[in-house]
Amino acid sequence: MIKVITYGTYDMLHYGHIRLLERAKALGDYLIVGITSDDYDKTRGKINNQQSLMERIRAVRDTGLADEIIVEEYEGQKIDDIKRLGADIFTVGSDWEGKFDYLNEYCKVVYLPRTEGISSSELRTEQRKIKVGIVGKSVYQTKFVAESSFVNGVDISCVCTSERDNSFDESKVLQTTDYDELLSSVDAVFVISTPDMHYIHAKKALLAGKHVLCASPIATSEDECRELFELAKKNNLILMDAIKTAYSTAYGRLILLAKSGKIGQVVSVDSVCTSLRDGSSMSDTDSSQKWNSICDWAPTALLPVFDILGTNYIKKTISTLFSDEEANLDAFSKIDFIFPNSVASIKVAKAAKAEGELIVTGTKGYIYVPAPWWKTDYFEIRYENPEDNRRFFYQLEGEGIRYEIVAFAKAIESKNNISCISENTSLAIASIIGDFNERKDFFKIG
Ligand code: CTP
């Protein structure tokens, strides 16, 4: 019996796939089809498959062409599979010509001509695109436009800013200073204006029937934040908090490990986020610098605290060193929390420097995420006995921004808020920013 093996993603199964499978089957007597797992595709940069692994498996199974289906989960697995399953022939489409010659050592390699004129990528692109507008001028805006090009189904069509950006292609991206003009031409808005404007911009967009992805904090008080979520629900719209770290695979996994008891009971979460960029003193006139340390960094720093310990803390203290108190610019802020069974602390600064690490302390061990933890692709679980330590690595592309855009687009399409940041967390973040502004639970240092 001649066994043939082939691999692919098979997203939105099309006749190019079916023709490939038919010809692969005809090469032998028994066809094994390897289908990529969602995680493996992520590490290969394929981030927005329309279908889940189970849906893709079902579609291949329903062709009736595969005698056996396996899941491809890691780099190098093909060699293992060929040896384990005793495959005689490995085959893929000619778009991979030459790429798998190294498998000749284990079996015969056959490249089959690819069917012209069709691919999953093209099918995804043909789907209706969500027109997104961006309001506000910041370094994130340029990053967001660049990152959105990796996501099928999203088109940045308009930017509302007072500072013209010549790097945008004028024929594709309309630039305007009029927010109403932006709202009239898009389906969704990414709000990245200064924090005091988030509530106003988000509310206006929601009232105009547009979905909103809003840089955190969504509002500078809990009440305003709650009002926006209620408005979104009432109008069947998506309102999502944009903290890119929340969308990285490594961050998601470390939260699950912390919650599943891997380090025992969590007794403390301590996170530090600082940035001391050359030439960017807190008093710069550049609008991006109008983000004080607390607004710029606290949403990210607070994320693991609230994700692991919840938002029902008993007490907190905010200690701040101002660089310009009148302008509400804090050089450094520290917040200490007391929860019923644990404690937490965050340190944020734009005019002070510390090691940007995250440590989750447990009764059996701790999770250590090295600096800069908010761009995390790696973390460790450490125990008393170093032999028990475990290291975890998950590829991170584009600082997590492209995963955030994928989640936003999927939420809009499915009409289901699949945000990685819970509403409670967004509310708790807004409440802390509000308390800072009102100097509640507050100590001034220096
Ligand atoms: N294939 C083919 N003809 C096509 C598309 C795919 O023969 N028009 C083959 C590929 O060469 C591969 C298998 O089908 O052997 C699975 O391909 P996959 O990468 O899942 O499909 P694509 O349509 O190429 O997906 P994408 O556009 O996301 O790369």
Q: What is the mean pLDDT of residues 4-15?
A: 97
Which atom of ligand 1 lies closest to the CA of 96? 11
* Per-residue model confidence as pLDDT tens digits over 167-177: 777 777 888 88
Is residue 367 over pLDDT 60? yes
- What the block records as the tokens of 237 is 């719209």
**Domains of the chain: which residue ranges?**
3-120, 123-243, 245-444
Is residue 251 over pLDDT 90? yes
Distance from Cα 418 to the centre of ligand 1, integer Å: 29
Q: What is the pLDDT of residue 139?
A: 66
Pocket test for ligand 1, best of 37, 114, 126 (most atoms within 8 A of CB): 114
Q: What is the mean pLDDT of residues 81-101?
A: 97
Distance of CA 364 to the CA centre of its chain: 30
Nearest of 367, 348, 364 to residue 301 by alpha carbon = 348
Rounded Cα distance between 8 and 414, Å, is 25
Pocket test for ligand 1, best of 119, 121, 122, 151 (most atoms within 8 A of CB): 119
* Per-residue model confidence as pLDDT tens digits over 259-302: 999 999 999 999 999 998 744 444 445 544 468 999 999 999 99
Is residue 122 over pLDDT 70? yes
Pocket test for ligand 1, best of 5, 7, 9, 78 (most atoms within 8 A of CB): 9
Give the alpha-carbon dihedral of 222, 224, 225, 230, to 10 degrees.
120
Is residue 444 over pLDDT 60? yes
Distance from Cα 50 to the centre of ligand 1, integer Å: 15
Region 3-120: CATH code: 3.40.50.620
* Per-residue model confidence as pLDDT tens digits over 25-52: 999 999 999 999 998 888 777 888 889 9
Angle at 395 between CA 57 and CA 365, to 5 degrees: 105
**374 secondary structure, DSSP code:** G
Distance from Cα 112 to the centre of ligand 1, integer Å: 11
Cβ atoms of residues 271 and 361 within 8 Å: no
Nearest of 219, 159, 217, 218 to residue 183 by alpha carbon = 159
105-109, 168-172, 234-238: range with lowest mean pLDDT: 168-172
Q: What is the pLDDT of residue 282?
A: 47
Distance from Cα 356 to the centre of ligand 1, integer Å: 42
- The side-by-side arrangement of strands in the sheet containing 130-135 is 174-176, 154-160, 130-135, 188-191, 211-215, 239-242
Is residue 419 over pLDDT 90? no
Distance from Cα 68 to the centre of ligand 1, integer Å: 19
For ligand 1, atom 10: residue with the closest CA:
93
Record the pTM.
0.85
Q: What is the pLDDT of residue 168?
A: 73
Burial 150-162 (b: 16+ CB within 10 A, else e): bbbbbbbbbbbbe
Give the alpha-carbon dihedral of 368, 371, 375, 376, to 10 degrees.
-20
In this chain, the answer to whether the domains covering 3-120 and 245-444 adopt an identical fold is no
Determine the topology of domain 245-444 in CATH. Answer: Dihydrodipicolinate Reductase; domain 2 (3.30.360)
The share of the chain scoring above pLDDT 70, in percent, equals 96
CB-based pocket (< 6 A), ligand 1: 8-11, 16-17, 20, 92-93, 95, 114-115, 118-121
Q: What's domain 123-243's superfamily in CATH?
A: NAD(P)-binding Rossmann-like Domain (3.40.50.720)
Is residue 201 over pLDDT 90? yes
Q: What is the mean pLDDT of residues 373-381?
A: 95
Q: What is the mean pLDDT of residues 297-313?
A: 98
